[in-house]
Amino acid sequence: MTVLAHGVGQSQDLPLPLDLVLQAGAATVVVSFLVVAVWWKRPRLVPSAERAMRLDRARLPVLGLTLFIIGDAFLGPRGPANPAAHALFVWLWVGLVPVSVVFGPVWRQVNPLRTLFRLLRLPAAGLRPRTPAQPLTPAQPLTPAQPLTPARTAGRWPAAIALLAFVWLELVAPHRGDPVVVGGWLLGYGLVQLACAAVRGEEWFARGDCFEVYSELAGRLSPLRHRNPLAGVAHTPPGPGLAAFLAVWWGSTIFDSASGSPAWAAFVQKAGNPILYGTAGLILLCAIVLVSVRLLSRPLDMTASLIPIAVGYTLAHYLSLLLVEAPRGVLLMVQQWGVAEGVEWNVAPTPGVIAAAQITLILTGHVLGVVVAHDMALTAAPERPPLATLADELPVVLLMIGYTWAGLFLLFVR
């Protein structure tokens, strides 16, 4: 089984000709840059206290659902009737982005690995074991004043590597829709994460669990978490691995679009060995994005400004998948419990509407990225002349234009 194609809109479904869409995309980035350059003379994205969200009651149900999905992957039906692939590739990978954008980093609150870690009372090597009397409370986010722990010294690099392993499964691995493959990956991933947390402590999940980092970065845009969501993005805690994580996140989505093109299919068919070439292509594209981010973010590190771009492109790329396959996965699961038997979900979104929404999401992400980059530049160098600050931003703006073209072209040209 393959969880369905990620796009509905094609070039013939666009509300405007493709060349005009590409020009409009570049013009949107340039105009937004000029507008903020003229009207945004001082830093305005001031951080404020984050609003805490308490999801204590959801922890055990999410853990129970996770255990059911894994068990059902091995013991349930071996075909399209099994919801395991929908749970991993649609609910978690795709659905976690809009949920986090709205409500904040929810996965940190309901992460079944954290819940299981606390229930098992796993002691971390070199750290004081948890006592039975210690309450099961949600972990609080680290503040800059806290000392580095072993999990923090590596930054987000462990999560970037874990994310690369996941996107390889999603985009390259053979039989990735097979419930047993999905269940085996989930089980192996969980055991590795718990073992690392047993050595590094519970804070490992904030740096090593790719889904928790994924939710945390998308949640920087949450209006329920931050009074000004753009301030949440601009003040994303820096550190090693942030650029790498964003490169894998955005690069893998671009690779998904590119690998769905007839040109890629013809190349793989002629060359053979799709796993080898798929793996090489995925790693190469993520590496190109990483190098471009690192080179063009100098002398100022404005990596966090790419978060809205990654969020916008992810929502655009997977929009039709989310609308079609997320409800279908729920239906498949409840039908195993004898509910809604015989009911089918065959919704087909209107391609033109989906295409227009995709363009809007991509361009909105880039405009927000330009605003955040400009404010970060002003904050980092408040004494520099305005023209010098704009010169520092220009490479990032050019990178965003390239990303805009690449995103729109690959999304609508197959």
Report pLDDT digits (tens) over 356-369: 898 899 899 989 99
State the pLDDT at residue 151. 41
Q: What is the mean pLDDT of residues 100-113?
A: 94
DSSP state of 144: T
Predicted model pTM:
0.86
Q: What is the mean pLDDT of residues 150-161?
A: 77
Has residue 26 got a pLDDT over 90? no
State the pLDDT confidence band at 410, using cuts at 50, 70 and 90.
confident
State the pLDDT confidence band at 136, using cuts at 50, 70 and 90.
very low
Q: What is the mean pLDDT of residues 318-322?
A: 90
Cα 17-351-256 angle, rounded to 5 deg = 85
Has residue 173 got a pLDDT over 60? yes
Question: Of 95-99, 322-326, 400-404, which gets the smallest average pLDDT?
Answer: 400-404
State the pLDDT at residue 351. 80
CA distances from 142 to 58, 110, 158, 183, 222 (A): 22, 17, 17, 32, 18
- State the DSSP H helix or E strand holding residue 120, giving kind and residue range, or none if neither: helix 112-120
Instruction: Please give the Cα distance from 343 to 361 (Å, whole number).
Output: 32
State the pLDDT confidence band at 413, using cuts at 50, 70 and 90.
low
171 touches 278 (CB < 8 A): yes
State the pLDDT at residue 191. 97
Q: What is the mean pLDDT of residues 293-314?
A: 84
Amino acid at 198: A
Has residue 188 got a pLDDT over 70? yes
DSSP state of 143: -
Buried b (16+ CB within 10 A) or exposed e, 101-125: bebbbbbbbbbbbbbbbbeeebebe
Q: How remote is the C-alpha of 309 from its chain's centroid?
A: 11
Torsion of CA 262, 267, 269, 275, to 10 degrees: -110
Has residue 157 got a pLDDT over 50? yes
State the pLDDT at residue 90. 94
Question: Of 91-100, 192-201, 399-408, which gets the smallest average pLDDT?
Answer: 399-408
Has residue 163 got a pLDDT over 60? yes
Question: Of 140-149, 278-287, 400-409, which gets the smallest average pLDDT?
Answer: 140-149
State the pLDDT at residue 371. 92
Average pLDDT, the chain: 84
| Residue found by looking up tokens 């692939």 in the block | 85
State the pLDDT confidence band at 10, using cuts at 50, 70 and 90.
very low
Cβ partners under 8 Å of residue 41, min gap 6: 378, 386
